[in-house]
């Protein structure tokens, strides 16, 4: 039986894929499989992955005929996975040797639905440790108990799918798939769903994922229309959380986070092309009017003056003729 399925989407990362694959080789075990999903790359990534399928033990190469984005590529991997446990890695990141062996051992020991882990962020030669914003380590808890408080960073703000491991029963319950077609912030509705609906989780002090930031091909560095999918993602968070029995308690956290992300994009709007910047303002204005207004007022009151004023001005803008991301 396959113990662990590692799902790795790749898209036009020929410069980084060899390092990613080398790190997977340093994590091989006979009961591990590596599902390499090529999301219709146009560079030499497909050839690199075809070679890896022959040379990397446990590798399975799947190719999309049409680019679907990270969420869709991860879903392809989930559907192909056979493991008792599943985890993710991005095609431009890498791992410490033997990391997955330790991760599986933690899961076996704790017997929980999912585990969250720390990671190392890499910008050029700089290395920074980032930890799960959750105090207890190695303690199994109810995931919804780790959503609040609203005014502090919690586990739902640490949304990296690759910073953890997940039991197959989450797939069977429909909790592990991502929203197809989301091109950014795809992990936000996903992590909120896990924390609202899974039965158990834990944070552990493992650190073996090296996450590249600041590379020119990363969507976080590109000011194009795909970045605006954060609005679709957070609209989903708000909608689903509003149906939760504890909506009154949880919505302030969701709205506050939505506002913070929106203010971040508006605060760096100069990186967007003018038509995209106009669309960002229009969509943000409409999104602010869709939020529960009493909760929004409290969230804005809790923000710093500059960001709150920016969002209040947007909320007062006349409604535009379109409110959907193209």
pLDDT (tens digit, 9 = 90+) per residue, 293-325? 999 999 999 999 999 999 999 998 876 544 444
Q: Is 61 helix (H, G, I), strand (E, B) or coil?
A: strand
Share the mean pLDDT of the chain: 94
Q: What is the pLDDT of residue 255?
A: 98
Cα–Cα distances in angstroms (integers) from residue 17 to residues 143, 214, 236, in the given order: 34, 16, 32
pLDDT (tens digit, 9 = 90+) per residue, 199-211? 999 999 999 999 9
Q: What is the pLDDT of residue 223?
A: 63
Predicted TM-score (pTM) of the model is 0.93
Q: What is the mean pLDDT of residues 176-200?
A: 96
Nearest CA among 82, 73, 88, 93 for reference residue 19: 93
Nearest CA among 79, 91, 111, 100 for reference residue 26: 100
Token output for 293: 């207004």
pLDDT (tens digit, 9 = 90+) per residue, 135-174? 999 999 999 999 999 999 999 999 999 999 999 999 999 9
Domain 4-219 matching CATH 3.40.50.970: the answer reads no
Nearest CA among 173, 162, 102, 183 for reference residue 138: 102
Distance CA 278, CA 287 (A): 14
For residues 141-173, one letter each, b for 16 or more C-beta atoms within 10 angstroms of the residue's C-beta and e for the rest, the string is eebbebbeebeeebbbebbbbbbbbbbbebbee
In the chain, what are the helix, strand and coil shares in percent, each to the nearest 5?
45, 15, 35
Q: What is the pLDDT of residue 224?
A: 76
Beta strands in 44-200 (DSSP E): 59-63, 85-88, 94-95, 114-123, 126-130, 164-167
- Residues facing 36 on adjacent strands: 8, 61
For the four alpha carbons of 89, 233, 253 and 262, in that order, the dihedral sign comes to positive
pLDDT (tens digit, 9 = 90+) per residue, 57-102? 999 999 999 999 999 999 999 999 999 999 999 999 999 999 999 9
Tokens 């090529």, residue located: 38
- Within 8 A by CB and 6+ apart from 54, the residues are none
- Within 8 A by CB and 6+ apart from 235, the residues are 287, 290
Q: What is the pLDDT of residue 325?
A: 44
Distance CA 244, CA 10 (A): 35
For residues 64-82, one letter each, b for 16 or more C-beta atoms within 10 angstroms of the residue's C-beta and e for the rest, the string is beeebbbbbbbbbbbeebe
End-to-end CA gap in the chain:
43
Ranges of each domain in the chain: 4-219, 223-315
């Amino acid at each position: 039986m396959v113990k662990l399925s590692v799902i790795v989407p790749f898209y036009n990362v020929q410069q980084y894929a060899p390092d990613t694959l080398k790190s997977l080789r340093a994590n091989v075990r006979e009961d591990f499989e590596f599902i390499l999903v090529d999301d219709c790359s146009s560079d030499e990534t497909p050839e690199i992955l075809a070679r890896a399928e022959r040379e990397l033990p446990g590798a399975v190469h799947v190719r999309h005929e049409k680019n679907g984005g990270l969420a869709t590529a991860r879903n392809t991997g989930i559907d192909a996975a056979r493991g008792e446990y599943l985890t993710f890695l991005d095609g431009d990141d890498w791992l410490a040797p033997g990391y997955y062996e330790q991760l599986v051992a933690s899961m076996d020991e704790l017997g929980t639905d999912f585990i969250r882990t720390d990671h190392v962020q890499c910008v050029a030669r700089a290395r920074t440790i980032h930890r799960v914003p959750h105090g207890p380590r190695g303690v199994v808890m109810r995931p919804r108990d780790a959503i609040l408080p609203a005014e502090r960073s919690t586990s739902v703000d640490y949304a990296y799918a690759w910073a953890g491991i997940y039991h197959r029963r989450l797939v069977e319950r429909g909790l592990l798939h991502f929203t197809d077609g989301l091109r950014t912030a795809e992990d936000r509705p996903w992590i909120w769903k896990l924390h609202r609906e899974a039965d158990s989780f834990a944070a552990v002090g493992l650190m073996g994922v090296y996450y590249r930031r600041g590379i020119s091909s990363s969507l976080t560095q590109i000011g194009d229309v795909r970045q605006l999918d954060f609005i679709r993602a957070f609209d989903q968070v708000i909608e689903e959380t509003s149906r939760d029995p504890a909506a009154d308690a949880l919505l302030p956290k969701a709205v506050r986070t939505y506002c913070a992300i929106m203010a971040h994009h508006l605060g760096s709007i100069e990186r967007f092309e003018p038509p995209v910047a106009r669309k960002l303002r229009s969509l943000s204005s409409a999104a602010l009017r869709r939020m529960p207004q009493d909760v929004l007022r409290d969230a804005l009151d809790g923000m710093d003056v500059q960001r709150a004023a920016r969002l209040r001005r947007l909320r007062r803008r006349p409604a535009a003729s379109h409110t959907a991301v193209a």
